[in-house]
Amino acid sequence: MGTPAPVAPVLERLCRVPEVDVVAAVTPPDRERGRGRRSEPPPMKETAQRLGVLVLQPDTLRSRSVQNQLAGLEADAIVVAAYGRLLPSAILEMPSHGCLNLHPSLLPRHRGPSPVATAILEGNEVTGISVMLLDEGMDTGPLIAQWDYALTGQETTGELTDTLFDLGAELLVEILPPWVRGELQAQPQDSAGATVSRKLERADGAADWTLPAEALARQCRAYTPWPGLYTRWEGKTLKLLGVTAFPAYRTGAAVPGQVITAVSGNGIHVVTGRGVLALERVQLEGRRAVSGEEFLRGYPDISEARLAVGP
């Protein structure tokens, strides 16, 4: 069970394991997207069809007919990776070896919907991938296995998500056969160390220039690809696609959001609550993405601007 492109390697790796017979891939129904409202399949569906795996796309998992259909597959285990829906107890109890969930954090840290972005936002030095046995809670089930992953401090959420699910695919194929043979035991999570991430909203990406420059730089990486870090200038949205923090730079009497003389190189530099943020790559609403230096040449008035703080 899965949906987005980053979890496609999980299905692909499972299909290459001799001991594993993938009987079906379960993913949400196709959705209409874009201005033309064209129907687009979930990436998991496209991967499954390419691999010759049966695809099921139920609107709900609580339907008795859907549950009977899943039961008819006689699966020994269900693997869940970014499926996006909670499984009802009837399905959790269905496979003899349980429902195994791949979660891109070191549980019990960063339970919930945004574990990867949260690890970046909080400046974690280490994250990882967990394989847990699903229960009816939100990422609260017992742990089967975990692998650590050291962060460089340069990853975006998109890049790190891909990396962690690639890692998770390796971990899963390593532990699945011994798990089914009864050679591994799941261990309860330590609830005392639990933290919960929240669902990201579009408004989260609005730059609050009163924050420290380093925090804004982490937001830029954490909110890539969505919702993105952005600000407002002359009534238009200015996307901040690449930034560099200068936390030690003293800004004197300048106020947060004020554009000042270049600190390093010839580009756009914005005063923050602590230090300065260099806008290395930006995109004005309705325009193409350009370097900060090129944008400054095309729109010199921004050098005297004070950018909006927050939404």
Q: How confident is the model at residue 95 (pLDDT cuts 50, 70, 90)?
A: very high
Q: Above 90 in pLDDT, residue 263? A: no
The pLDDT value recorded for residue 213 is 97
The pLDDT value recorded for residue 212 is 97
Beta-strand ranges (E) seen in the chain are 25-26, 31-33, 38-40, 55-56, 78-81, 99-103, 126-133, 143-150, 229-233, 236-246, 259-260, 268-271, 276-284, 289-291
User: What value does the mean pLDDT take over residues 13-32?
Assistant: 95
**Residue range 127-180, pLDDT digits in tens:** 999 999 999 999 999 999 999 999 999 999 999 999 999 999 999 999 999 999
User: What value does the mean pLDDT take over residues 83-97?
Assistant: 96
- Cβ atoms of 239 and 206 within 8 Å: the answer is no
pTM for this model (two decimals): 0.95
**Residue range 179-226, pLDDT digits in tens:** 999 999 999 999 999 999 999 999 999 999 999 999 999 999 999 999
Percent of the chain residues past pLDDT 90, beyond the cut: 91
